[in-house]
Amino acid sequence: MLTTKTQPLQHAKQVLLPTTIEAVRRQPYNRFGWTILDRWAYNSPKQLKELESLGEVVLLG
């Protein structure tokens, strides 16, 4: 569980490819969306990588 303040996408950057992070930053998401992505990266990194392998549309959908 994330209990401390972190920078946006801090955990996601450790799990996802740089190109995926760039695509996420280009989308009209706010900090809440990035927090959800970080939570996935922290709690379920393997599943997040699997979603990433399915493509950007599935990951961001």
The per-residue pLDDT for 11 is 93
Give, in order, the Cα–Cα distances in Å from 2 to each of 5, 23, 28, 49, 57.
8, 24, 24, 19, 26
CB 14 within 8 A of CB 40: no
pLDDT tens, 18-43? 999 998 888 887 788 888 899 899 99
Residue 46 has pLDDT above 90, yes or no: yes
Residue 16 has pLDDT above 90, yes or no: yes
Band (pLDDT 50/70/90 cuts) for residue 56 is: low
C-alpha 36: how far from chain center: 7
Residue 60 has pLDDT above 70, yes or no: no
CB 37 within 8 A of CB 27: no
Going from N- to C-terminal start, the domains of the chain cover 12-60
